[in-house]
Every structure is written in C-alpha cells, then in structure tokens.
Structure 1
Amino acid sequence: MTLTLGLAALTVLDTAPMQHVDLAEKHGFDTIGIRLMPAAPGTTAYPLHEDKQGLNELVRRLDDSPVEVFDLEIIRLAADFDPADYVPLLEAGAQLGAKAVLVGGDDRDRARLTDSYARLAELCANYGIVASLEFMPWTAVPDARAAIEIVSAADGPARSVLVDALHTDRSATTLEDLASIPREWLHYAQMCDGSTPAPTDDAELIRHAREERLVPGTGGIALADIWSTLPAGLPVSIELPNEPLRRAVGTDAWLKRLVEATRAVLA
C-alpha cells in the first residue's frame, strides 16, 4: 500500500508556505501542513487568512504542484472560544483544499470544552474540513481517552482525533485506547521518535515536543506498536522539530533522512 507522507508545519517552521511546497516536492512528500495561527503568543505563523494576495499566490503555486495542503494549525479551545473568530481561517483552508485543522484543548472546564469542540466541528463541516482534536499530556485533553470522550459529544462528519506518536508515548494513553478510536475519526497521524526516559514536568514535555523530537527509529517510542493500532494506509505527517540536528546536516539531508527513516519504520 502506498504511504502518503506529509511535511508538518513544525518540522520546517522557519520556512514560508511557498518554499514549504518546494521542499515537499523535492523530497517526495505528498502533502504539507501550514501554521496559520501561532501555537503560543509571539511564535512563528503565516496568517494567510489575513493576506489575500499571499493566499492567492499559494493557491496558484499548488495548482501547478503534485503537493497538496493537508492540515492547518492551530485552533485552540480556550474559555473564551468563539467559532466565528475562525471563519476566515477555515475559508482560507477551503481555498487551499485543506482536509483538517489541528485543534488543541486549553479549557479546563470539560463541559464547556466539549461544547466548544462540538460547535467548531459543526462549523468545520461547512468547509469540508475535519476538526482534528490532538491530545497532549500538558493540556486539558491529556490523553486519547479524554479526546474520545470530547469528540463523542459532537455530531456530523467533521469529528476527528489526531494521534501524535510523542504525545501517545508521554501520556496515559494505551494501545487499547488507540484501537478504540472509531476508524472514521482517524484522518492522519503524526510521526516522530523521542528520548527516554521521558520528561515528567510540563515545561520539559513542551520543550521536547517543540524542539527536541528524534528521527524515527533512534529513540525509545514503540512506533511499530502504535501504528499497529491505526488503520492501514492512514496518512502520516512527519512532525519532527530539532534545529540542532537539522543545522548539523542541512535541510535537504535532514528531510531525506526523515523520509527514509519513516518509511523504514512503517515498512
């Protein structure tokens, strides 16, 4: 079965979307992810939903490319979440042909967070985009069981859970939990490896996730076990920020290594 590979936004976050497409083409990626909104205040993002000219230029570039946009980042569900705030992002995503938007849960009020996710999923469905709720151990959606509970409360075709290898390994998630996610909720998964032992405090968990992921097969995550619970042929997004390792060999050699290592792990 052909493996669909994506080049996640975070892997080359210093690279603008037009050049991101160039890298994906050069190294055999099928899709890319674009970070339109920052993961944290002051961090890098490319707000094409606020730049009509830039958005149109990227659409034209994609029209001439085999590479497609798969996912957009990032919508955070906080206490003050209002789905109307994200209409411009989703409109841009629809213009780009995006299939998913990555969603993070930051609201510790579970009932309100669940309602926010349901309203976002309803909105996303209008644009043909799924709302992929990612569980991360330091957030209000700390593991797969929490994600399943929240997504279960939503209706319609836009329900989605995002499995990230690093967060799976560093949360209370079990292989049985992954296997229990409804197959129709799985639209892609994020690939990387990680060091062992894993950090135990939130600050280090976040730093590792954003700066210190490892090449598949070089860390301590049981990647083959994780992927054995997921549907065959599920698209894979390589999310692997590690600037010291990338700089040491150069971006081209780095991406070549990530592609080869991912294919080897999933063979």
Structure 2
Amino acid sequence: MTFEYSLAQLTVLETSPVEIAKIAAECGYDYVSLRQIYMGVKGEKIYDLRKDKKLMQELKGILKNTGLKVLDIELARIFDGVNIKDYEPAMETCRELGGKHILSSIWTDNKDFYTEEFAKLCDLAKSNGLTVDVEYVPIAGVNNLKQTVELLNDVNRDNAGIMLDMHHIHRAGDNTEDIAKIPKEWFHFAHLCDASKEIPKEKEEMIRIMREARDYVGDGGIDIASILNSMPIVPYSIELPNSAYIKEYGLKGHAQNCLDKAKAYCDKFVKGRE
C-alpha cells in the first residue's frame, strides 16, 4: 500500500510558505498544506501570497524543483457575519499553486445560516476547480460526524467533502461504523495525529492539547487504524502541533518525526476501506 503525506501548517505554525515547503521537501513529504486564510491565533504570522509576489515565485520554484505539491489551503470558516467572497483570493492562490482543496469548518450554531453560506462557499470554490472539505471540531458549531453528514446532504454539492481529524473524531465520541457508511467520494484527505485516550473534561485543556500538545501517531491512545480502515485511502495531512517537541527537536526535526512515525504506523496497520 502506498500512502501520501502532507505537512500541515499548524504542525509548524510560525513558518512562512517557503519555509514550510522547504521543510516538507527535505523531510520527504509528498505535499504541503498551507494557511492562507488567517485566524489571528497565537503564533500565527501572515504571509499573503497574493500580495507578496516574490514569496509566491520563490515558493513556486521550490515546488517545481522538488516535486512537492500543495494539497490544500485553510481555513475558510463559516461564522456569524462571514463574507464568503473574502475567501476568493485564497482560492485563486490554491488554484495557481496546483492545490485541489479548501479546508472549512463551521463556527456558528445557526444551521440555516451555515448551510446557506457553506453552499455559497462550495459554489465559489467550484468556479476555481476546488473541493471544499468540512472539518468538524469538538468546540465548534458543527462538532460531530452526524452534523457534518447532515450538512453535506443538505447542500448536495458535488465538490463538497468531509475532512476527518483523528483528534476530533476521538474527542467527539464518533464511531467507525458511521464513518464506514459515508460515501467514498466525500473523502479527499484526512488529518493525522494522536492524543491521550482520556478526553479532558475542561474545555481549556482540550483546546490546549488540540493547539499545542498532540502526540505522534501511535504514541497516544486513539485507535487510528480503525478510523483509517473505515475510510478510503486518501492523502494524510499531518496536523500535529506540539510546542514541547518543537523545543526539543526543532521545526524540521519535529516535522521529520511526524512523518517517520506516521509512515511506520500506517505501513503496519492501515489497509483502508475498499
């Protein structure tokens, strides 16, 4: 079985598009997953490739010379007051770099609103030849598998998909039987990481782990193999922020550990859903 891996921005959050691409290529990743829609979180720096032409050309050079590809661009959030058109420049960047997917998540409880806005997002992405993949997050508006499946059925767009994150599946208490029922065409990529089997009771602790203390694949308590074997084989974007590991190993060392651990685990345990 051949697996493909991407280095996600959150794993090495402070890097520029050029820096993360260099790290990904040197470590042996197949893809890079870039953040071009910024969220204002701690440690996040803004590198707008549509405005910084020099940075864009340098990134294109790295992609061309190394064979590294862009998998997706994040994060097109749906929230109260969102203007979907604001995401068009990032979509144009994704298309220009050869990417295929826009990552999205829902941060409002207003179902009618987020369904309508997500449909608009899908339509805008389709005009750029991109899919839109929903990542449910345990602390967000759409926070479990059931809500996500309902959303995708309601919008009924052929470029809409689901992006499953191992941490979020476990924290939401979802099961592999329900994952196995999801149409295969909804899957385009997934997020790999691990975490403790015990689910924090405090929201603050869950957020801390999610943003800065995830485990290497196979080192935590999540049954990752069962999850991956209930879905088709897709590229795996390693989203594994861990500030302690970065302090110990450096950005490149951490990214390399992420890839090596994931490869060893998937090669041993993952066959995927037929």
**TM-score category, normalised to shorter length:** over 0.9
- Is the Cα–Cα contact under 8 Å of residues 119 and 157 in structure 2 kept in the other structure? no
TM (norm. structure 1) is 0.94
CA–CA separation in structure 2 for the residues paired with 1:239 and 1:46: 19
Q: Post-superposition shift, 1:108?
A: 1.0
Question: What amino acid is the match of 1:254?
Answer: H
Contact kept in structure 1, 2:12 and 2:255, CA below 8 Å: no
Q: Secondary structure at the match of 1:215?
A: coil
Q: Percent identity?
A: 30
Matched position secondary structure for 2:71: strand
CA gap 1:144/1:24 in 2 versus in 1, 3 angstroms: same
Q: Could you say what secondary structure the match of 1:48 adopts?
A: coil
**Corresponding residue for residue 190 of structure 2:** 189
| Number of residue pairs the alignment of both structures matches | 266
Report how far residue 52 of structure 1 moved: 3.4
- Structure 1 residues 218 and 141: alpha-carbon distance in aligned structure 2, compared to 1, 3 A threshold: same
In 2, are the aligned partners of 1:37 and 1:46 still within 8 Å (CA)?
no
Q: What's the counterpart of residue 23 of structure 2?
A: 23
Matches within 5 A, 1:155-194: 155-194=156-195
Equivalent positions of 1:63-82 (< 5 A) are: 63-82=64-83
Consecutive unaligned residues in structure 2, runs of 5 or more:
268-274
**Pairing of 1:141-152 with structure 2 (within 5 A):** 141-152=142-153
Q: Where does structure 1 lack aligned partners over 5 or more consecutive residues?
A: none
* 2:164 and 2:191 in contact (8 A); partners too: yes
Query: Aligned-pair RMSD on alpha carbons?
Result: 1.6
Q: Measure how far apart 1:81 and its partner are.
A: 2.1
8 Å Cα contact 2:13/2:43 also seen in 1: no
8 Å CA contact 1:75, 1:103 repeated in 2: yes
1:42 deviates by: 6.0
Shift of 1:177: 2.1
- Alignment of structure 1 residues 60-139 onto 2, 5 Å: 60-139=61-140
Deviates more, 1:242-251 or 1:161-170: 242-251
**Does 2:29 match 1:37?**
no
- Give CA-to-partner distance per residue, 1:11-56, whole Å, 9 cap, x none: 1111111121111111110000111122345651422233334223
CA deviations 1:177-225 (Å, max 9, x no partner) are: 2112211110001000002312123322222111010011111101111
